[in-house]
Amino acid sequence: MPIPLVKPGAEIDGYTIGECVHAGGMATLWMVTHPGIDTPLLMKIPRVSEGEDPAAIVSFEMEMIILPRLAGPHVPACFGTGDFARQAYVVIERIPGTTLYKRLPDLPLPYEEARSLVARIATALADLHRQNVIHHDIKPSSIMFRDSGEAVLIDYGLSHHNHLPDLLQEEFRLPYGTAPYMAPERLLGVRDDPRSDLFSLGVLLYFFTTGERPFGEGETLRAMRRRLWRDPHPPRTLRADYPPWLQEVVLRCLEIEPGWRYPTAAQLAFDLTHPDQVKLTARSERLKRDSLSVAWRRRFNQGVMQPRAKADVAAQIASSPILAVALDTAEGAPELNEALRVTTERILATLPSARLACVNVLKLNRIAVDRTLDEQGSNKHVDRLVALRHWATPLKLDESRLSVHVLEAIDPAAALLEFAEVNQVDHVIIGARQGSFRRTLLGSVSAKVASEATCTVTVVRPPRLAADAAEADTDEATG
């Protein structure tokens, strides 16, 4: 192995080494500059001297091949790598601030603050999973936040890329990771399930809202294996005021069997963004963990949690999208709404893990004062929520897969586009009525959504014979 060239003032491939900002167990971080790059930079260099853990070298190889393939605001930008023939390194952008680890003295955090933090982390995870990468080391020291508020995931030495060789799994039998945050299936050699990251995020949410880790600090393999059959104490046993919706979310993330967790990080982020829409089950009411008899049956059930064939991360995410259907709840749109229901039902039939958000826009006046009550004295917002649920009833969806939303906006199309972007919607289903001079002149809501949305959009029209010219002057998706 070559002698390290790293010291302040040295130059490696055009990068000038500055001060060492961190010396970890597996690598060191140095501030560096480059004449052609204005962005503040960090160079990460592995420890490769005699006696160092060989896994550190392999994990650094994984980071070198994964980081250059990632893009977006939730990962550090990569500017260059160097191989082990001369000097191994990775150069990334230096993100201002500190990791979430600095917040540990403040625990437990207020529920609302923790909800907001973890929702942003879940959004970052969803973006990472879409790029075929499972992080496998989600913990406070692996998370930073940009000045814009977006979460950034760092440290990819333990990650799995669905399209690249998994060197850690090929060369080592023991699972590598941070013990308190490691998912149960990792102990059985499973590294290709993105729901492992959701388990780790559930541990973090539990920790940040109770001040205690759900599985303690056990670092031995024997201690970690207990989570294959032993569930954690419900958070409400630690804090009497723990919100039921939050316990529902936390315990769903911490399910032993991956199939019982959220199917995707995007769906977890959706629940954290809309806590009032979380469907409460028996999880939310629990005050005790499973009985010893249940734990023992789980321990000796040989059919549970067995290693399986390699999964396709992209296919798993694609089978669990978030759908949004934009509905007009006003009278006079039954044909269009029925057509929307038929289309939605057909799409859901092929996606058993999809989540559906039924959305209506309560259009506000630009100048006049808006009234919250209609002519009969009923609350418009509540009436529309009820109408949305009534529309969805024939779909017979499990409540955990359905939510209803009434947005208030002057511009319905802009409101729908923002909802789709903020909530990581994968597919928008929207109705379009027959054309009119007004729509030709001003443009329709459906046309704007279809042309500007960053996700798939399906535009549905009612049967032509049922179209009514009198309906054509009503803005769709607004009521």
Does 6 map to a domain?
no
Rounded mean pLDDT, 30-56: 85
Residues 77 and 121 in one domain: no
Per-residue pLDDT for 442 more than 50?
no
pLDDT for 465 equals 44
Does 4 map to a domain?
no
Residues 287 and 203 in one domain: yes
Per-chain mean pLDDT for the chain: 87
Does 291 map to a domain?
yes
By mean pLDDT, which of 48-57, 328-337, 364-373, 406-415 is the weakest?
364-373
CATH number of the CATH domain containing 342: 3.40.50.620
Please say which residue of 316, 339, 364 terminates a domain: 316
pLDDT for 94 equals 96
CATH number of the CATH domain containing 178: 1.10.510.10
Look at 46 and 174; give whichever has higher pLDDT. Answer: 46
Residues 329 and 430 in one domain: yes
pLDDT for 134 equals 97
Tens of pLDDT along 195-204? 999 999 999 9
Does 478 map to a domain?
no
Count structural domains, the chain: 3
pLDDT for 183 equals 94
Per-residue pLDDT for 372 more than 70?
no
Look at 323 and 84; give whichever has higher pLDDT. Answer: 323
Question: Using H for helix, E for strand and C for coil, what is the string for the chain?
Answer: CCCCCCCCCCEECCEEEEEEEEECCCEEEEEEEECCEEEEEEEEEECCCCCCCHHHHHHHHHHHHHHHHCCCCCCCCEEEEECCCCCCEEEEECCCCCCHHHHHHHCCCCHHHHHHHHHHHHHHHHHHHHCCEECCCCCHHHEEECCCCCEEECCCCCCEECCCCCHHHHHCCCCCCCHHHCCHHHHHCCCCCCHHHHHHHHHHHHHHHHCCCCCCCCCCHHHHHHHHCCCCCCHHHCCCCCCHHHHHHHHHHCCCCHHHCCCCHHHHHHHHHCHHHCCCCHHHHCCCCCCHHHHHHHHCCCCCCCCCCCCCHHHHHHCCCEEEEECCCCCCCHHHHHHHHHHHHHHHHCCCCCEEEEEEEEECCCCCCCCCECCCCCEHHHHHHHHHHHHHHHHCCCHHHEEEEEEEECCHHHHHHHHHHHCCCCEEEEECCCCCHHHHHHCCHHHHHHHHCCCEEEEECCCHHHCCHHHHHCCCCCC
Residues 224 and 141 in one domain: yes
Which range marks the domain in which residue 199 is found?
Answer: 100-316
Residues 32 and 152 in one domain: no
Does 327 map to a domain?
yes
pLDDT for 339 equals 92
Residues 267 and 391 in one domain: no
Tens of pLDDT along 123-167? 999 999 999 999 999 999 999 999 999 999 999 999 999 999 888
Per-residue pLDDT for 473 more than 70?
no
Please say which residue of 43, 63, 93 terminates a domain: 93
pLDDT for 226 equals 87
Per-residue pLDDT for 444 more than 90?
no
CATH number of the CATH domain containing 35: 3.30.200.20
Residues 247 and 113 in one domain: yes
Please say which residue of 93, 121, 152 terminates a domain: 93
Does 426 map to a domain?
yes
Q: For the whole model, what pTM was predicted?
A: 0.89
Tens of pLDDT along 212-254? 999 987 678 888 888 899 899 999 999 999 999 999 999 999 9
Does 5 map to a domain?
no
pLDDT for 477 equals 46
Residues 241 and 263 in one domain: yes
Rounded mean pLDDT, 331-352: 88
Per-residue pLDDT for 327 more than 70?
yes
Q: pLDDT-derived band of residue 471, with 50, 70 and 90 as boundaries? A: very low
By mean pLDDT, which of 87-101, 136-150, 331-345 is the weakest?
331-345
Tens of pLDDT along 44-91? 999 876 556 677 888 899 999 999 999 999 999 999 999 888 889 999
Q: pLDDT-derived band of residue 476, with 50, 70 and 90 as boundaries? A: very low
Tens of pLDDT along 255-300? 999 999 999 999 999 999 999 999 999 999 999 998 888 888 888 8
Per-residue pLDDT for 177 more than 60?
yes
pLDDT for 378 equals 65
Residues 110 and 165 in one domain: yes
Residues 111 and 223 in one domain: yes
Residues 386 and 269 in one domain: no
pLDDT for 198 equals 98
Q: pLDDT-derived band of residue 429, with 50, 70 and 90 as boundaries? A: very high
Residues 111 and 226 in one domain: yes
Q: pLDDT-derived band of residue 472, with 50, 70 and 90 as boundaries? A: very low
Rounded mean pLDDT, 323-346: 87
Does 50 map to a domain?
yes
Look at 383 and 249; give whichever has higher pLDDT. Answer: 249
Per-residue pLDDT for 193 more than 70?
yes
